[in-house]
Amino acid sequence: MPHIARMYDYWLGGKDNYAADRAVADQITAIFPDILVNVRAQRAFLGRVVRYLAADAGIWQFLDIGTGLPSANNTHEVAQRFVPQSRVVYVDNSPVVLAHARALLSSGPQGVTAFIEADLRDPGRILAEAARTLDLSRPVAVLLLGVLSFIPDDEDPAAIVARLMAAVPPGSYLAVAHPASDIAAEQVARSVRRYNHQARDPVTARTYAEVGRCFDGLDLVEPGLVQLHRWRAGTEDLTGGLELPNYGGVGRKP
Ligand X SMILES: C[S@@+](CC[C@H](N)C(=O)[O-])C[C@H]1O[C@@H](n2cnc3c(N)ncnc32)[C@H](O)[C@@H]1O
Residues engaged in binding ligand X (CB under 6 A): 4-5, 8, 42-43, 46, 65-68, 92-94, 97, 119-121, 145-147, 150, 177, 201
Helix (H, G, I), strand (E, B) or coil at 228: helix
114, 133 in Cβ contact below 8 A? yes
Quote the CA–CA distance of 5 and 101 in Å, as a whole number: 12
Q: Where are the alpha helices (DSSP H) in the chain?
A: 4-11, 19-31, 35-51, 75-82, 95-104, 123-130, 157-166, 185-198, 208-212
Among residues 58 and 152, whose Cβ is nearest to ligand X? Answer: 152
Cβ atoms 187, 253 nearer than 8 A? no
Smallest separation (angstroms) from ligand X to the CB of 188: 15
Shortest Cβ 5–ligand X spacing (Å): 3
- Among 164, 180, 179, residue whose Cα is nearest residue 216: 164
Give the nearest residue (CB) to ligand X: 68
- C-beta of 49 vs 134, nearer to ligand X: 49
Q: In whole angstroms, what separates CA 31 from the centre of its chain?
A: 23
- For ligand X, the closer of residues 60 and 195 by Cβ is 195
β pairing state of 219-220 and 246-252: antiparallel
Q: How far is the CB of 170 from ligand X (least distance, A)?
A: 25
**How far is residue 8's CA from residue 239's CA, in Å, rounded to a whole number?**
19
Residue 177 or 205: the one with the smaller Cβ distance to ligand X is 177
The DSSP bridge partners found for residue 142 are 63, 174
Smallest gap, in angstroms, from Cβ of residue 4 to ligand X?
A: 5
For ligand X, the closer of residues 77 and 92 by Cβ is 92
- Computed from CA positions of residues 148, 150, 153, 155, in that sequence, does the dihedral angle turn out positive or negative? negative
Choice between 140 and 145, CB closer to ligand X:
145
Q: Measured from the CB of residue 68, what is the shortest distance to ligand X in angstroms? A: 3
Strand, helix or coil for residue 43: helix
Pick the closest to residue 62 from 44, 43, 77, 72 (CA basis).
77
Task: Give the nearest distance from C-beta 152 to ligand X in angstroms.
Answer: 10
Minimum gap (Å) between residue 177 Cβ and ligand X: 6
Q: What are the angstrom distances between the C-alpha of 112 and each of 82, 118, 138, 155?
A: 14, 19, 16, 32
Which one, 102 or 138, has the nearer CB to ligand X?
102
